Amino acid sequence: MDKTLEIYWKLYNEIISNEVMIHKSQNLLRNFEEEFIDGPILELGCGQSNFLVEFSKTGKEIFAIDNEEFQLNFLKKRIESYTGDAFEKLHLLNITIPEKEIPQEIFSLVIASDFLHFFSIEDSKYIISQITSRTQKGSLIYVRVHSKSHSYSNSQNKNVHNYFKHFFTEDDLNNLFDEKYFDRMLFSNTVQDIRPKFEREFETKWTEKVLDEYKIFNQRQRQAHLDENIKEMSVGYIQCVYRRK
Ligand SMILES: C[S@@+](CC[C@H](N)C(=O)[O-])C[C@H]1O[C@@H](n2cnc3c(N)ncnc32)[C@H](O)[C@@H]1O
């Protein structure tokens, strides 16, 4: 992971408590909690997942996949402090998807939040085919991905597209989640043009930390970076909930 992103997630862990993280995150799965079937929960690219922390109280077994050890350690600490005990049902898997296979369990819930846009559409197809074979009738799948309405989608900067490999449309998701296997329960297409104050303030703190880390102490240079942070862009994202047929 890029150093600046590592600084982001460490700062996130330092100043955003579990309660604030859950309160500030939109959890569309909460509406479907009554229909969770038996079986473990899986999250791909879990980071410090608000979903896994919140749902740790369901008592379900959790499989948390990320390829950054520090993120998995932060998640473990978050879950333990949220449930109030050493959570025995947590499996932390330091795996790089799609190089390594997803575990062979049958999951009741699979979460891929802000994850699939790091892959080509072909890799996403492969990942979804694994999800299809590791779910059963009634299993739920939540997906959140950057959409074509995201400002970065039209960026001329090659690095942006090396990092975010695909910006999704509704058709892309319809093709990935074949109606032969999945019912779409919810589709939401959002564009956020102005960040809430909470996010703006967090990102200013992040920029300051990055400037400190790279020893940029010249006031004019610092201000130029902070001014850049004030500029808004459109964050376009699609969220879907599917139910396995
Ligand atoms: C943008 S964060 C999303 C975290 C969390 N799902 C959320 O919505 O808050 C993406 C996470 O995926 C992890 N990740 C990125 N590429 C990965 C890969 N190929 N395999 C496993 N994890 C990956 C990163 O380390 C990071 O923690």
Kindly state whether residue 20 falls inside one of the protein's structural domains.
Answer: no
Report the pLDDT value the prediction gives residue 229, as an integer from 0 to 100: 86
CATH number of the domain bearing residue 41:
3.40.50.150
Report the pLDDT value the prediction gives residue 84, as an integer from 0 to 100: 86
Kindly state whether residue 209 falls inside one of the protein's structural domains.
Answer: no
Report the pLDDT value the prediction gives residue 63, as an integer from 0 to 100: 97
Report the pLDDT value the prediction gives residue 184, as an integer from 0 to 100: 97
Q: How far apart are CA 119 and CA 163, in angstroms?
A: 9
Enumerate residues 6+ apart whose C-beta is below 8 A from 209: 7, 11
What is the residue with the minimal CA distance to atom 8 of ligand 1?
113
Mean pLDDT of 184-209: 95
Residue of 180, 184, 136, 167 lying closest to 236 (CA atoms): 167
Q: How far apart are CA 115 and CA 210, in angstroms?
A: 24
CA 36 to centroid of ligand 1, rounded, Å: 24
Enumerate residues 6+ apart whose C-beta is below 8 A from 237: 114, 144, 145, 146, 147, 150, 190, 192
Q: Where does ligand 1 bind, in terms of residues with CB under 6 Å?
A: 1, 45-47, 49, 65-68, 71, 96-97, 113-115, 118
| Per-residue pLDDT tens digits for 99-143 | 999 999 999 999 999 999 999 999 999 999 999 999 999 999 999
Kindly state whether residue 92 falls inside one of the protein's structural domains.
Answer: yes
Kindly state whether residue 212 falls inside one of the protein's structural domains.
Answer: no
Number of domains in the chain: 1
What domain range is 72 assigned to?
26-194+234-244
| Per-residue pLDDT tens digits for 205-236 | 999 999 999 999 999 999 999 998 889 999 99
Mean pLDDT of 152-169: 93
| Per-residue pLDDT tens digits for 60-111 | 999 999 999 999 999 999 999 999 887 789 999 999 999 999 999 999 999 9
127 in Cβ contact with 119 (< 8 Å): yes
DSSP string, 34-65: GG--SS-EEEES-TT-HHHHHHGGGT--EEEE
| Per-residue pLDDT tens digits for 134-154 | 999 999 999 999 999 999 999
